[in-house]
Amino acid sequence: MRWGRPWISDVAACAFMVLVAAFVTRGLLADPAGRALSLNPGDQALDEWFLAYATRAYRGDFAFVTGALNAPEGINVLGNASLIGLGLLFAPLTLAFGAPVTFAVATGFNLAANGAGWYLLLSRTARLHRLAAGVGGVFCGFAPGMVSQSNGHLHMTAAWLVPAIVWCVVTLAQGTRTVQRGLLLGGLVVAQFFLGEEVLLLTAVALALFCLAFVATCRPIPRHVLPSLGLGLVIAGGVALALLAYPIWVQFRGPQSAPGAVFRPEFYSADLKSFAALSPLSLAGGNGATRLASGPSEYTAFFGAPALIAVLGATLWMWRRPAVVACTVVSIVLWALALGPHIVVGHERTEQWAPYSLIAGTPIVEWALPTRFALATVPLLGFVLASVVHAAITQTETLKVLVPVAVIAALVPLAPRPLPTADRAPVPRFFTEGYWRGYAPRDGTIVPVPLPDWRDPQPMRWAAATNVAFATPQGWFIGPYGTDGTSAVGVFPRPTSQLLHRALANANPPALTDQDRIDLRRDIAFWHASCFVLADGQAEAGALHSTLDALLGPGEHVADVWVWRARA
């Protein structure tokens, strides 16, 4: 039975990853349609819309630029974190059970698959002891940054192809099947582009820095390494360029493309104190550290002092091993980039220059938030920790128990808590049971009241419940609506949308003018609107209801909503 033991260990390790992922996402899995991430429900609504939109590919009706959101001008899907890869992969699940179920499953799947992927790479390719590989895999899959990004950033946690990408690069350096590995690497790059483009960028940066650091610390370099690696990368680059040329053109030059970064790097920078702090989403973390990050989805640099001490000790012990030293050096470089343009200490921005200033504004790089460079160090640190556990178990007698226990003890405070969730309003039966078809044609425009925007994108869930069978005006997305056509979140609301938001904010129907009625007719014509829909139980529904009655005449109660047919 000796031949079977490694497989048993592998299955047990992967099963453990699944159990931890289920624990982290248990709030969502318990009631996907009735619960939402309490720390970031807006991004979850956007993710669910994208997951639902991807199902249109199964009926041959998917495009990189679509008018299904922000009707009729539409959005550039590739210019947003659009989850194309995840959406296509999980489309059967979405079609069967709905986007909320897919979101809950995909959130846990990403975490478990990341951990399992790194475990297999460490145990099979790096040939580390399986306990050591398990420690590294669990850290890579469930590090505080990965759990934090699970709050609505599925495009950042969908990194389970990265271990395969690293494997391809390693085998290319070994001179193994150069052409085949190059072709495979190119295919993986294309797949990761559609899973999460920012992850691909961070992976490329980390791998490039690692190769440079490894070459600088390892002498001599075998003669076959550079030719084999170079040829493989050229083949991979050719494959990726051929397959991604058009999508990249659409993203940066196509309709509704938005030049420039929409999020300021000064705001999304890692606080120097956060590196030694424990994430509020970790077992030993507290809410006092929340001020050290821009939000609960960006606790990317919260590694904690115990883990950093363990990494330092491991590096000092194994300073003769080029791979370990290279990982630590690259991690320090990436941490420096994560600090942003100027160093922030204790939520106070200083005038001290930081290395990110050298690349700020660089095309493509500007789309990556500085703090996420710290996320790229997770697998590097995982390798260092796994290596020291392996060395202790296989090469010493006195430390074979002490070192693994010490490393695990240093990581226990980072153990994740379940993602916080809260109740959310159900999608009206008007949409889930198909009543809407009597009031709008397929791919027609239904105007939710109030209209969705970055402040409240929840009405986008109505379209998601129908697998985006109708179009929605406005919404939460990135488009060319900033100054001189630069990037902005959402679109400036049209007059009727502003009128409805005033009614909502004041809890009172505003006095209507002839201009309001003229604006309404223009907006209906612009949106190609079929009807306006107000859900029962909507906050301050009375003011909105009265306003629409005054504009369009008495509404019709259908199932659990009020409907006003549009009259241009």
Model confidence at 349: pLDDT above 90: no
Residue 461 tokens, joined: 């869930």
Across residues 154-170, what is the average pLDDT?
Answer: 97
Phi-psi region of 431 (alpha: psi -120 to 50; beta: other; left: phi over 0): alpha
Among residues 553, 496, 550, 504, which one has the least CA distance to residue 525?
A: 496
Whose CA is closest to 371, among 461, 278, 459, 265?
265
Q: What does the mean pLDDT of the chain come to?
A: 93
Say if residues 93 and 493 touch (Cβ distance below 8 Å): no
Tokens of 350: 């200083």
Angle at the Cα of 114 from the Cα atoms of 373 and 105, rounded to 5 degrees: 115
Element (H, E) at 123: none
So what's the pLDDT on residue 260? 76
Q: Give me the pLDDT at residue 540, please.
A: 65
Three-class SS state of 520: helix
The pLDDT confidence band at residue 3, using thresholds 50, 70 and 90, is very low
Which pLDDT does position 221 carry in this prediction? Answer: 77
Alpha-carbon span 153 to 142, nearest angstrom:
14
Is the model's pTM score more than 0.85? yes
Give the pLDDT score at 521. Answer: 96
> Rounded to 5 degrees, what are φ and ψ at 292?
-90, 5
Give dist(CA 499, CA 433) in Å, integer.
30
- Alpha-carbon distance 563 to 449, whole Å? 10
Q: Is the pLDDT of residue 399 over 80?
A: yes
| Confidence bin at 322 (pLDDT 50/70/90) | very high
Burial of 187 (0-12, 13-18, 19+ CB in 10 A): middle
Kindly calculate the radius of gyration of the chain based on its CA atoms and give it in whole angstroms.
26
Mean per-residue pLDDT, 469-489: 92
- Retrieve residue 319's tokens: 């300073």
Inter-residue contact 330 to 210 (CB < 8 Å): yes
- List phi, psi (to 5°) of 166: -65, -40
